[in-house]
């Protein structure tokens, strides 16, 4: 059975353009980092700002139909598990297991993602953050896909 690890933010879900424009400014990035830990803001974010990436949803469905083991590997903190599970269920995103970052085991998320990929022995890892992709490439034998809004057909070609 083939295995794949897929990130959530920026891959499975996309942030609407209007919100992304605000995030270009450091002040707004810092503000979001502060607000995201407040449950009411997190709910607002999950319901109104987080959108399903239809290309990745189609890709995941294809993988599931073809017997792949699908692991979500995200730098979201463990404390968000319930909200993320609800969001994934509401949007009908299939996965076998979800792994969320724990700062108690690794000092940074990129080393943690590489560790999880190695531990699970995933064949492919998809992330939109180049630092995470480079860390997985450097520390594992996992093939990586730097996600840049590729279409379903392009993603299929990359895993064949």
Global pTM reads 0.87
What are the tens digits of pLDDT across the range 31-74? 766 666 677 777 777 777 788 999 999 999 999 999 999 999 99
- What's residue 36's pLDDT? 65
Separation between Cα atoms, residue 41 and residue 54, nearest integer Å: 24
C-alpha dist (Å) from residue 62 to 20, 54, 59, 79, 153: 29, 12, 5, 30, 11
What angle (nearest 5°) sits at the alpha carbon of residue 96, between those of residues 160 and 61? 50
Check residue 80 and report its DSSP letter.
G
Separation between Cα atoms, residue 68 and residue 63, nearest integer Å: 5
Instruction: Say which residue the tokens 């996309």 belong to.
Output: 14
- What domains are defined for the chain? 3-13+52-159 (3.40.50.1000), 17-48 (no CATH)
Separation between Cα atoms, residue 81 and residue 87, nearest integer Å: 10
- What's residue 46's pLDDT? 74
Average pLDDT of the chain to the nearest whole number: 88
């Amino acid at each position: 059975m083939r295995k794949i690890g897929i990130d959530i933010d920026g891959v499975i879900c996309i942030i609407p353009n209007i919100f992304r424009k605000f995030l270009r400014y450091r002040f707004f990035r810092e503000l979001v980092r502060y607000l995201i830990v407040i449950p009411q803001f997190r709910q607002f974010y999950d319901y109104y700002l987080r959108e399903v990436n239809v290309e990745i949803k189609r890709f995941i469905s294809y993988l599931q139909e073809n017997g792949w083991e699908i692991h979500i590997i995200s730098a979201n903190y463990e404390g968000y598990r319930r909200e993320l599970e609800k969001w994934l269920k509401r949007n009908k995103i299939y996965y076998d297991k979800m792994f969320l970052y724990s700062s108690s085991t690794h000092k940074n998320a990129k080393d943690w993602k590489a560790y999880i990929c190695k531990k699970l022995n995933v064949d492919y890892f998809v992330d939109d953050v180049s630092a995470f992709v480079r860390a997985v490439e450097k520390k594992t034998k996992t093939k990586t896909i730097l996600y840049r809004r590729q279409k379903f057909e392009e993603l299929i070609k990359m895993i064949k």
